[in-house]
Homo-oligomer: A and B are copies of this chain.
Amino acid sequence: MAGPELESLEQCLEKHLPLADLREVKRILYGKETRELNLPRKALEAASEKDFELRGYAFEAAEEQRRGPRIVRVGLVQNRIPLPTSAPVVEQVSALHRRIEGIVEVAAMCGVNIICFQEAWTMPFAFCTREKLPWTEFAESAEDGFTTRFCQKLAKKHDMVVVSPILERDRDHGGVLWNTAVVISNSGAVMGKTRKNHIPRVGDFNESTYYMEGNLGHPVFQTQFGRIAVNICYGRHHPLNWLMYSINGAEIIFNPSATIGELSESLWPIEARNAAIANHCFTCAINRVGQEHFPNEFTSGDGKKAHHDFGYFYGSSYVAAPDGSRTPGLSRNQDGLLVAELNLNLCQQMNDIWNFKMTGRYEMYARELAEAVKSNYRPTILNEYLTSAPACQCGKGQLPLPPTNAFKNVPDGF
């Protein structure tokens, strides 16, 4: 359970369901079916040689008279760490660079225009240990660190926008750490960076002792291939985070993540997809894969014995579209590259059909939220015994008793 046993949900359904039922189940679970891409044979062969899964799907949009189709191919990369966490830092980073370089080459063969790697991709997800060294040695400058320069070369060579989520050392502001994604243009130029806005305080995700909530707001990057934003990991649990990227114009929001089976696997298919629906945009959910072991044992605040591993990263990276449809997930236990061809016209088309932005009443919510954060805020709670509550429409038949918290305990089969 929550380990590597199951290859993928979709493969399991495809294996067992009769075709007519499978079609209905997929319609309800996934919406309109995505077309499988016919990827180049040499790319498939290279992926197989390099031992990673390669899959491709396309989302269609209706034809328009005044715009041609706005087709972009995105690549989502999920990967294990190639070396043990006890290897020297520089060797671990180099091995990750080599691994990613190989995957990006295959992405280029598949015509990928924008590629995004997993959260903190140059390191093991070591925050579970609560140790600072050697893990903070993986931090780099976003603007001109070793990894950013590596990604600039990749971007220029392959004419590909690269989204590179790293642990950032901010030398210009006291040398503090951030969880950051660097966005590099297909020209090779660093377009800018964006930071993780919400830092988890849950389980072994002890990230709040390593870095603070991002201070760069909700920037959107106008690339040659469309407007993109990056909502890093735990930010996917916060609908307002997605919303602000969308209000700022993002057509594709990447969500590079690192999350484990026991904590979040049943939430994984829900949150990024809900964000695509609610914001009329594409979302790209990327998770790590496999298990990472650490040299020193640690406990997890759950009453269990000390151990050396963080739990199982279940992969399952996927893309969701503004019409609520989605690709199948990548494998739960293999490195992988998911290529998705998006027609960005679908964003505006869904916006015009559903009109969530038009009906969003953001002025009301700006006002209500501003009130709600005040220390003297009194939420609107109607109580049949307190007729003074605001907007209360209390009716007849009021009883003289105060409300009780006496819940009825109803036994089964009474």
Contact = CB atoms under 8 A, between A and B. Distances in A.
A72 B398 CA distance: 22
Given A71-B407, A399-B187, A381 B249 contact: yes
A189 B277 contact: no
B266 A359 contact: no
A27 B268 CA distance: 12
Given A25-B12, A361-B198, A393-B193, A407 B225 contact: yes
Given A267-B277, A408-B111, A366 B363 contact: no
A397 B187 contact: yes
A47 to B, nearest CB: 15
Interface residues of A, number: 135
27 contacts: A9-B28, A13-B25, A16-B18, A16-B21, A28-B266, A28-B268, A113-B408, A143-B395, A191-B384, A191-B394, A192-B393, A199-B359, A213-B361, A216-B391, A217-B368, A220-B379, A221-B381, A237-B354, A238-B278, A238-B361, A239-B278, A248-B380, A249-B379, A267-B324, A270-B274, A341-B410, A362-B369
Of A188, A221, A243, A270, chain B has the most CB atoms within 10 Å of the CB of A270
Smallest CB-CB A-B distances: 5 pairs? A190-B395, A31-B266, A239-B239, A111-B410, A274-B274
A388 interface: no
Interface string A131-157: 000000000001110000000100010
Given A68-B407, A270-B324, 15 more contacts: A6-B28, A13-B13, A27-B265, A29-B269, A32-B266, A38-B413, A72-B408, A189-B396, A218-B368, A219-B382, A224-B406, A238-B278, A240-B243, A270-B277, A271-B277
A297 B134 CA distance: 72
A309 to B, nearest CB: 20
Interface in A374-390: 379-384
Nearest to A198: B359
A269 to B, nearest CB: 7
A143 B396 CA distance: 9
A313 B22 CA distance: 21
Contacts of A156: 397
Nearest to A386: B222
Interface string A65-83: 0001111110000000000
A360 interface: yes
